[in-house]
Amino acid sequence: PKGDQQRLATEQTGNLDAYDCFLHGREQLWRFTKAENIKGRELLQRAVEFDPKFAPAYAFLAFANILDYANQWSSSWSNAMAQAEMFAARAVALDDRYPYAHWALGIVELYSRRHEAAIRSAKRLIALAPNLAEGHENLGYALYYSGKPEDALRCFDRAMALNPYYPDVYLHFQAQATFQLRRYEEAIGILRRRLVRNPSTDVSRVLLAASYGHLGRFEEARREWQEVFRVNPQYSLEHRRKVLPYKDPNDFELIVDGLRKAGLV
């Protein structure tokens, strides 16, 4: 898939500065932290200044804005959704054959709670590039939020098989679906692996605390919950409830219940 990604991107700009900014910008986003997301967005912004017709940069600008929106990573996070919509539409308009344009569009559709459209975009992406892990990851993500954790898990397994160097956030997705199936022990094992790769994650620690809560391991739940605010003092359960695109709000309440059992909320 790596070679594929590179070929897909180089096909579309003769501007090496644009390409350079794009590669470095995308790299930053995969780290999933506030500071790196800001840095990545600035680089991608420069890429489209170098080449205003460069679809890949718009696709990842859409993604950067979605991360902003979901995590409250900028003062203008509420505006981030409109930005993401605009960038994703631009990417698809510029190059309908570029798989990541549909990847970004699918994420935007999902966070706009257009679940069926998100599933369609993911399937279109898989049709365009069957061996691209992100297509299966996107489909899994859309299915998970549509209340189909079992189907979602199959997609995540496929994505991880296609890309052995998958971003650590895949482990979080896998854990979310496992948690939703109430396989808490298993979810804990997956989340611990994610924490080794990304110690600064807040969301995986929240899910870990909730898993411990459901299992009656309240001491461990409390310890993880404290860690959440150590890595992100601004973490807000309320904000997550507002922005995470669950078709059935009760799915999110399973997380809250785990925290409640441990007396954390």
52-100 pLDDT tens trace? 999 999 999 999 999 999 888 877 777 999 999 999 999 999 999 999 9
Can you tell me the distance from the alpha carbon of 248 to that of 147, in angstroms, rounded to the nearest whole number? 7
At 18 the pLDDT is 95
Number of domains in the chain: 2
Residue 123 sits in the same domain as residue 178? no
Does residue 182 sit in the same domain as residue 62?
no
What value does the mean pLDDT of the chain take? 94
Cβ–Cβ contacts within 10 Å for residue 199, how many? 11
- Shared domain for 53 and 129, answered yes or no, is yes
Judge if 88 and 6 occupy the same domain. yes
Residue that terminates a domain, selected from 131, 150, 167: 167
Judgement on whether residues 187 and 215 belong to the same structural domain of the protein: yes
Residue 41 CB contacts under 8 Å (≥ 6 apart), including other chains: 25, 29, 61, 64, 65, 68
State yes or no: pLDDT of 2 exceeds 70: no
Q: Are residues 215 and 159 in the same domain?
A: no
Confidence class for position 164, pLDDT limits 50, 70, 90: very high
From 164, 197, 167, 193, select the one nearest 178 (Cα to Cα): 193
- Of 167, 186, 201, the one marking the end of a domain is 167
Alpha-helical segments (H) within the chain: 2-10, 16-29, 34-50, 55-71, 77-94, 99-111, 115-128, 133-145, 149-162, 169-180, 184-197, 203-214, 218-231, 237-243, 250-261
**Residues 194 and 178 occupy one common structural domain:** yes
* Triad 151, 153, 159: Cα angle to 5°: 110
The CATH number assigned to the domain holding 35 equals 1.25.40.10
Q: Is 80 exceeded by the pLDDT of residue 187? A: yes
Instruction: Name the residue range of residue 76's domain.
Output: 1-167
Select from 150, 167, 184 the last residue of a domain: 167
pLDDT reading at 4 higher than 80: no
Q: What is the pTM of this model?
A: 0.88
Residue 135 pLDDT exceeds 60: yes
List, in sequence order, the alpha helices (H) in 12-54. Answer: 16-29, 34-50
Binning pLDDT at 50, 70 and 90, where does residue 33 land? confident
Same domain for 12 and 33, yes or no, is yes
Tell me, yes or no, whether 80 and 192 share the same domain. no
Say whether pLDDT at 9 is over 60.
no
The confidence score (pLDDT) of residue 8 equals 58
For residues 143 and 17, membership in a common domain is answered with: yes
